[in-house]
Amino acid sequence: MSKSAISSRFPLGLAPEESSGSEFAPESGDDAYWSDSDVDEQTRRQSQLSRQQQQQQHQPQPQQNDRQHIRQQQNISIEQSQPPGITVSISALISIHNHSRMHMGWRRAVAGAGAPSRRAASTLVVGETTADGRVAASTLSAVGAAVQLGFPVTLLVLGGSDAGDAAAAKVHSVAHVLASPSKSLLPETVAPLVAAAVQTLKFSHVVAAASPLNKNWLPRAAALLDVEPVSDVIAINAPDSFVRPIYAGNAIATVKSADKIKLLTIRSTSFSPVDASSGSATSVAAPASEATPGSKWISEEVVKSDRPELGAAKVVIAGGRGMKNGENFKLLYDLADKVDGAVGASRAAVDAGFVGNDLQIGQTGKIVAPELYVAVGISGAIQHLAGMKDSKVIVSINKDADAPIFQVSDFGLVGDLFKIVPELTEKIKK
């Protein structure tokens, strides 16, 4: 087949690849593949390397002396009733900790599922922009995850802005940018758009960060495409095998999907972001799609802030119910300003109206993994830990020496936060 014949059949210019011997190698009769120029040797090596790094990162690490603990390991086999497209195996490490940081390790256990479907492979990443028009850090991590799949990456940045499309074209490892035709971020618009793109351009994988926006449209797109989405992926074993936490992070499941199209949300703290400025993708028009009726996009008001984005900040200072009221959060903002950090909160602080719910960290809030996490007046409920336990260094300030947060902390300060926090801020000033 000539290249021009291929181009007319494949809107992204994706041409059949030589047989690679992989599970996802095209078979005759499949009707959308990628060309050697789309997936060159470098991309393959990069994807393999980043998968290896990812797997190493998720292997249980030897404990340091100051974090020694008694660990009792128990493998749990759970047979769950699952939808036909998905097989799950779960293994958990149950640990008894001796006032040291909890080790949320996992053992890899690949499910004995049937052969994956053989389908042409290319990945659509659905992304977001920040208030100032940059590609969101979580989207750069989603592209990082897509690279691990090893297929050519197309990026669709939602929001329909020229600036967003231009920024998307510069993202490293992106071969094509699908120009978003609509400013609407409503799931009623986005889900049909993604479904139409998958059906028309024959994507085998769709990857998006597990953000509130993406969690809204992705299940609808899955329903339109009649596939099972796999959410909150923290590692990619293979193009059809994904690792995700369950039971608020207390167990880790390996999910093998037999669906022809894999729809994934990824935990952005688990994947390294790609560079935002060294790419040179070409632009492609999105296929026509029709929004489902019911709601109408009118406008959006975005709060602009000079502070780092909570999900991407290197330092997070989080306050809980112990802060007593919203005004007292000024103590945390003062400290955060000293260290170029973001401010977060527990759900109890959000529910009490101290701060907005965009600051909530935890199982039902944002997942963060900064270099430094400072928990102020937070008890350490399991649902809160689910959102911050992967932070590199955890410091806790609590007046109750028995607060569970100290079990996951590298450093603990027992005392009154209203005394300790201003003192800390003052000392950093010097």
Chain residues that interact with ligand FAD, rule: CB under 6 A: 320-322, 346-349, 360-365, 377-379, 381, 383-384, 387, 397-400, 403, 416-418
Q: How far apart are CA 196 and CA 190, in angstroms?
A: 10
89 or 360: whose CB is closer to ligand FAD? 360
Least distance in Å: CB of 232 to ligand FAD?
13
Least distance in Å: CB of 320 to ligand FAD?
2
From first CA to last CA, the distance across the chain in angstroms is 71
Least distance in Å: CB of 271 to ligand FAD?
21
Task: Label residue 71 exposed, middle or buried (CB < 10 Å: 0-12, 13-18, 19+).
Answer: middle
Say which amino acid occupies 335.
L
Give me 236's structure tokens. 């990619």
Least distance in Å: CB of 376 to ligand FAD?
7
25 or 248: whose CB is closer to ligand FAD? 248
Give me 131's structure tokens. 């208030």
**8 A C-beta contact, residue 394 and residue 101:** yes
Give counts: helices (H), strands (E), the chain: 10, 16
152 or 365: whose CB is closer to ligand FAD? 365
In 306-377, where do the E strands start and end?
A: 315-319, 342-345, 372-376
Helices (H), 118-249: 137-149, 162-169, 187-201, 212-225
192 or 365: whose CB is closer to ligand FAD? 365
Least distance in Å: CB of 136 to ligand FAD?
21
Residue with tokens 């997070």: 316
Give me 253's structure tokens. 């499941």
150 or 380: whose CB is closer to ligand FAD? 380
Least distance in Å: CB of 361 to ligand FAD?
6
Least distance in Å: CB of 250 to ligand FAD?
13
123 or 346: whose CB is closer to ligand FAD? 346
Give me 423's structure tokens. 């003192």
159 or 319: whose CB is closer to ligand FAD? 319
Q: How far apart are CA 360 and CA 347, in angstroms?
A: 6
